[in-house]
Amino acid sequence: MASLSNVHKILLQSFMSRPLWTQTDLEANLTKLFQHFPEESGSRDLDSVVSAINEKLRVLNLELRKGMSEDNGTMYWALVNNKHDKMLEKATNYEIKELNLFKKMLETIIKSPTKEVASKDIINLYQGVEGITASHSDDLVNRLVNENWLTMSDEGKVTMGIRSIIELRHYFTEEFEEDLINECMLCSEIIFKGERCPNNCNAVMHKHCIKKWFQGRREKKFPSWQTSLNFGVLGLGKCNSFLKIKTKKKKKKK
């Protein structure tokens, strides 16, 4: 089995010291690494490098994967586990009971209609788990927020953090019913926080997907809509009129 190049190995290693990287930082690192090892052959763009690494990681059921932050549209990368077996159980800084509580929190968030829950309610979930006190739960939430598994808004609302979005995508789709899991109209990725179609039809889109879509267009609205977009909270379901527009757009391009 051929080995990865030095640049690939070091990039991979960097995920061990920091589990989450922004795409910008990662690309900067890559540039620095190629400066260190100028004689290395092969493509130097991030996607090719990641591809090469992922090819080797496949046999270990690991993968470098990216995801977009729902707050600021930043692209992040993380090293994720694709097989949920005993082997990697220990690779975590959280105790089993803390993880059980975390699972409950995730469930609560997903089952909430707006996909966000007041932090007070999240913390109080400790009551359903043995061996955790209120203050422990409070502390746990802080740790989870610090490590990007959960996000806390200024008003104290808890939503899904970027790491959960990147790593737990599959877990969510497997574990919960279809109508609880929403997809962004524009990028087809899982969505927790975004904009609702103002056409009253419940379509949801990531704020930054919309920004990208409307880039360069004068009016911030889809032709079939009466009003322009106002950035709000999300809803559920699909937007028929939007679908029409989307497919039209695609046909035009083709």
Query: Footprint of other proteins on this chain (CB under 8 A)?
Result: 1-4, 6, 9-19, 21, 29, 32-33, 36-37, 56-57, 59-62, 78-81, 84-94, 96, 99-100, 102-103, 147, 149, 163-164, 167-168, 171
How far apart are alpha carbons 154 and 241 in whole angstroms? 34
Per-residue b or e along 216-243, where b marks 16 or more CB atoms closer than 10 Å to that residue's CB: eeeeeebeebeeebeeeebbeeebebbe
- How near is the Cβ of 9 to other proteins at its closest, in Å? 4
Min. distance of Cβ 136 from other proteins in angstroms?
A: 16
Nearer to other proteins, 45 or 219 (CB): 45
DSSP state of 201: T
Distance CA 186, CA 208 (A): 10
Q: How far is the CB of 104 from other proteins (least distance, A)?
A: 11
Q: Which is nearer to other proteins, 100 or 202 (CB)?
A: 100
Are the C-beta atoms of 58 and 47 separated by less than 8 Å? no
Nearer to other proteins, 23 or 199 (CB): 23
Q: Which two tokens stand for residue 95?
A: 């105790």
For 116: left if phi > 0, alpha if psi spans -120 to 50, otherwise beta; the answer is beta
Nearer to other proteins, 16 or 155 (CB): 16
The CB-of-88 to other proteins minimum distance in angstroms stands at 5
Q: How far is the CB of 211 from other proteins (least distance, A)?
A: 28
